[in-house]
Amino acid sequence: MKRHSLYPDIKPYREEMLQVSALHRIYFEECGNPNGKPVIMIHGGPGGGISPTMRRLHDPSVYRIILFDQRGCGRSTPHAELRENTTWDLVADMERLRTHLGVEKWQVFGGSWGSTLGLAYAQTHPERVSELVLRGIFMARRFEIDWLYSNGASIIYPDRFEAYQLHIPEAERGDMVAAYYRRLTDPNPQVQIEAARRWARWEGSAISLLPDPEREAAFGQDHFAIAFARIECHYFQNRGFFDTDDQLLRLADRIRHIPGVIIHGRYDMCTPFINAWHLKKVWPEADLRIVEDAGHAVSEPGITHELVEATRRFANIH
């Protein structure tokens, strides 16, 4: 069977800033069909910001495609800000945006951290979600954070992990997230940026099954890296701001009536496949799609195919 590919590149027909608190303004844009089926696109990270590729996973003649930069990243302001920046602030921002745009219900589409925030939003506002399309499942549990940042993926990528690890003195390596958090919140901007580059490059190097030097270099660019690393580390240091380690699994009953697709690469080194397996166990109605020749990245052909297949299915495109 021929695999689906991305839809052609499109430009937004609307770009605005929305004031969501006295401190924060978030950037949002709309693409595709203004009268189409609404979908909210949730980017990864946290702190990653939206990308043009995110506009290309839905048929623009059918969908009203809504994208936004979460607090502190992308074009949202203030840049790399950690104050008033929690999972529940972002859930509230999504509701503000939905109300602002006059949307009754929307498809919630997110990958990696976007799947975390998508689940948190859907469990808080299930009546506002028409479908869930989730990729590269991440639920901010302790072992998931430790896997990438402490002692898991380093077994597979010791050559890439080394620069990230060596930035931290051996005496502090028992808790790498805490060690990086101290540096990423240091009063000295140079201490922050050097830690941010190491953090972001490491993650960028582990995303796809095959190496992508261009992505790794892009992750290491200062403007991206400082927001990405500071905000990610802030969230992970605070365990995603969840009450319990298994909160998103424990509250899965709230979303079991929502049509959903779970898409995960078998060889995902950022968010291990066991995450998707655990979610499927508590949400048996969801359609789990295992991509046998992929890691974590949207750009991998098998992942792209399954995402587009899901958006076509929910739009009744045959």
pLDDT band at 83 (very low <50, low <70, confident <90, very high): very high
Bridge pairing between strands 25-32 and 14-19: antiparallel
More confident: 1 or 195 = 195
User: CA–CA separation, 60 vs 56, rounded Å?
Assistant: 8
Among 112, 115, 150, 205, the one annotated catalytic: 112
**Which strands, in side-by-side order, build the sheet including 14-19?**
14-19, 25-32, 63-68, 37-42, 106-111, 129-135, 260-265, 287-291
Among 58, 234, 296, 305, the one annotated catalytic: 296
To 5 degrees, how large is the angle CA 62–CA 68–CA 70?
150
Residue 21 annotated as catalytic: no
pLDDT band at 84 (very low <50, low <70, confident <90, very high): very high
Question: Which pLDDT does position 152 carry in this prediction?
Answer: 86
User: CA–CA separation, 108 vs 118, rounded Å?
Assistant: 6
pLDDT band at 317 (very low <50, low <70, confident <90, very high): low
275 bridge partner residues: none
Reported as a single tens digit per residue, the pLDDT across 22-70 is 999 999 999 999 999 999 999 999 999 999 999 999 999 999 999 999 9
- How does DSSP classify residue 56? G
Residue 65 phi, psi (nearest 5): -100, 115
Question: Which pLDDT does position 316 carry in this prediction?
Answer: 80
Please tell me whether the peptide bond between 126 and the residue prior to it is cis, using omega within 30 degrees of 0.
Answer: no
Reported as a single tens digit per residue, the pLDDT across 177-219 is 999 999 999 999 999 999 999 999 999 999 999 989 999 899 9
Residue 130 annotated as catalytic: no
Residue 9 annotated as catalytic: no
Reported as a single tens digit per residue, the pLDDT across 102-130 is 999 999 999 999 999 999 999 999 999 99
Reported as a single tens digit per residue, the pLDDT across 283-316 is 999 999 999 999 999 999 999 999 999 999 999 8
Among 150, 268, 278, 305, the one annotated catalytic: 268
Give the burial string for 248-277 (b: 16+ CB within 10 Å, else e).
bbebbeebeebbbbbbbbebbbbbbbebbe
Domains and CATH numbers, the chain: 14-141+241-314 (3.40.50.1820), 143-239 (no CATH)
Reported as a single tens digit per residue, the pLDDT across 126-174 is 999 999 999 999 999 999 999 999 988 999 999 999 999 999 999 999 9
Taking residues 11-20, report their average pLDDT: 98
Q: What is the pTM of this model?
A: 0.97
Question: Which pLDDT does position 318 carry in this prediction?
Answer: 46
Reported as a single tens digit per residue, the pLDDT across 244-284 is 999 999 999 999 999 999 999 999 999 999 999 999 999 99
